[in-house]
Amino acid sequence: MEARAVKRFIPSSPRKMRLIADLVRGKNAQDMIRMLSFHPKHASKDVAFTIKSALANLVNKNEDAGVRPEEVIIKTIMVDQGPSLKRIRPAPQGRAYRIKKRSCHLTVVVETINKYSEE
Protein backbone atom coordinates (compact mmCIF):
# COMPACT_ATOMS: atom_id res chain seq x y z
CA MET A 1 0.00 0.00 0.00
CA GLU A 2 1.22 3.46 -0.76
CA ALA A 3 0.12 7.06 -0.39
CA ARG A 4 1.53 10.40 -1.42
CA ALA A 5 1.64 14.02 -0.35
CA VAL A 6 2.56 17.11 -2.37
CA LYS A 7 3.67 20.47 -1.05
CA ARG A 8 3.88 23.17 -3.69
CA PHE A 9 5.42 26.63 -3.94
CA ILE A 10 7.98 26.16 -1.17
CA PRO A 11 10.13 29.32 -0.98
CA SER A 12 13.45 27.48 -1.18
CA SER A 13 15.63 26.66 -4.14
CA PRO A 14 15.30 23.13 -5.54
CA ARG A 15 19.02 22.52 -5.16
CA LYS A 16 18.93 23.13 -1.41
CA MET A 17 15.82 20.98 -1.02
CA ARG A 18 17.37 18.08 -2.96
CA LEU A 19 20.22 17.88 -0.42
CA ILE A 20 17.69 16.92 2.25
CA ALA A 21 15.62 14.73 -0.08
CA ASP A 22 18.68 12.62 -0.90
CA LEU A 23 19.23 11.98 2.82
CA VAL A 24 15.80 10.46 3.44
CA ARG A 25 15.11 8.58 0.20
CA GLY A 26 14.41 4.86 0.81
CA LYS A 27 14.59 5.02 4.60
CA ASN A 28 12.11 4.50 7.43
CA ALA A 29 9.62 7.40 7.55
CA GLN A 30 9.28 7.54 11.34
CA ASP A 31 13.06 7.65 11.87
CA MET A 32 13.52 10.32 9.22
CA ILE A 33 10.89 12.61 10.79
CA ARG A 34 12.78 12.32 14.07
CA MET A 35 16.14 12.96 12.39
CA LEU A 36 14.90 15.97 10.42
CA SER A 37 13.62 17.69 13.56
CA PHE A 38 17.28 18.10 14.62
CA HIS A 39 18.76 18.84 11.20
CA PRO A 40 20.25 22.35 10.85
CA LYS A 41 19.10 23.05 7.26
CA HIS A 42 15.96 25.14 6.82
CA ALA A 43 14.54 22.83 4.13
CA SER A 44 14.34 19.94 6.60
CA LYS A 45 11.20 21.44 8.19
CA ASP A 46 9.30 21.36 4.89
CA VAL A 47 10.47 17.82 4.10
CA ALA A 48 9.47 16.57 7.57
CA PHE A 49 6.06 18.25 7.26
CA THR A 50 5.41 16.58 3.89
CA ILE A 51 6.54 13.16 5.14
CA LYS A 52 4.15 13.49 8.10
CA SER A 53 1.36 14.37 5.70
CA ALA A 54 2.06 11.38 3.45
CA LEU A 55 2.19 9.10 6.51
CA ALA A 56 -1.18 10.44 7.72
CA ASN A 57 -2.63 9.95 4.22
CA LEU A 58 -1.49 6.32 4.27
CA VAL A 59 -3.00 5.66 7.71
CA ASN A 60 -6.31 7.34 6.78
CA LYS A 61 -6.48 5.60 3.42
CA ASN A 62 -6.06 2.14 4.95
CA GLU A 63 -7.83 2.36 8.30
CA ASP A 64 -9.05 -1.25 8.08
CA ALA A 65 -5.58 -2.65 7.38
CA GLY A 66 -4.10 -1.26 10.60
CA VAL A 67 -0.97 0.38 9.18
CA ARG A 68 1.80 0.74 11.73
CA PRO A 69 3.98 3.85 11.22
CA GLU A 70 7.12 1.87 12.15
CA GLU A 71 6.71 -0.24 8.99
CA VAL A 72 6.50 2.63 6.50
CA ILE A 73 9.37 3.62 4.21
CA ILE A 74 9.82 6.58 1.89
CA LYS A 75 9.47 5.01 -1.55
CA THR A 76 10.13 8.10 -3.67
CA ILE A 77 10.78 11.74 -2.95
CA MET A 78 10.97 14.25 -5.81
CA VAL A 79 11.87 17.92 -5.85
CA ASP A 80 10.75 19.87 -8.91
CA GLN A 81 11.38 23.49 -9.78
CA GLY A 82 8.54 25.91 -9.16
CA PRO A 83 8.06 29.42 -10.49
CA SER A 84 10.76 32.02 -9.91
CA LEU A 85 10.00 35.52 -8.73
CA LYS A 86 12.04 38.13 -10.59
CA ARG A 87 13.24 41.03 -8.46
CA ILE A 88 15.58 43.95 -9.11
CA ARG A 89 18.35 45.14 -6.80
CA PRO A 90 19.90 48.59 -7.19
CA ALA A 91 23.51 48.48 -8.37
CA PRO A 92 26.29 51.06 -8.71
CA GLN A 93 26.13 53.85 -11.31
CA GLY A 94 22.36 53.61 -11.84
CA ARG A 95 22.37 49.99 -12.93
CA ALA A 96 20.05 47.25 -11.73
CA TYR A 97 20.89 43.62 -11.03
CA ARG A 98 18.28 40.92 -11.46
CA ILE A 99 17.55 38.54 -8.58
CA LYS A 100 15.68 35.26 -9.08
CA LYS A 101 13.87 34.06 -5.96
CA ARG A 102 13.36 30.38 -6.68
CA SER A 103 10.68 28.05 -5.39
CA CYS A 104 10.12 24.31 -5.59
CA HIS A 105 7.49 21.58 -5.38
CA LEU A 106 8.01 18.53 -3.15
CA THR A 107 6.34 15.14 -3.74
CA VAL A 108 6.68 12.30 -1.23
CA VAL A 109 5.40 8.74 -1.78
CA VAL A 110 5.43 6.34 1.19
CA GLU A 111 4.64 2.64 1.28
CA THR A 112 4.34 -0.11 3.85
CA ILE A 113 6.89 -2.86 4.01
CA ASN A 114 5.83 -6.36 4.87
CA LYS A 115 8.52 -8.15 6.85
CA TYR A 116 7.02 -11.57 6.21
CA SER A 117 6.87 -11.62 2.41
CA GLU A 118 9.62 -11.08 -0.14
CA GLU A 119 8.52 -8.88 -3.05
pLDDT in tens, 8-47: 999 999 999 999 999 999 999 999 999 999 999 999 999 9
Q: What is the pLDDT of residues 78-110, one digit of tens each?
A: 999 999 999 999 999 999 999 999 999 999 999
Assigned superfamily of 2-112 = Ribosomal protein L22/L17 (3.90.470.10)
Amino acid at 61: K
Residue 11's pLDDT is 97
Span 38-63, mean pLDDT?
Answer: 94
Q: In which order are the strands placed within the sheet that holds 104-112?
A: 2-10, 104-112, 72-81
Q: Give the confidence band of 117 by pLDDT, cuts at 50, 70, 90.
A: very low
- pTM (two decimals): 0.89
* Domain segments of the chain as ranges: 2-112
Question: Which pLDDT band holds residue 116 (cuts at 50, 70, 90)?
Answer: low
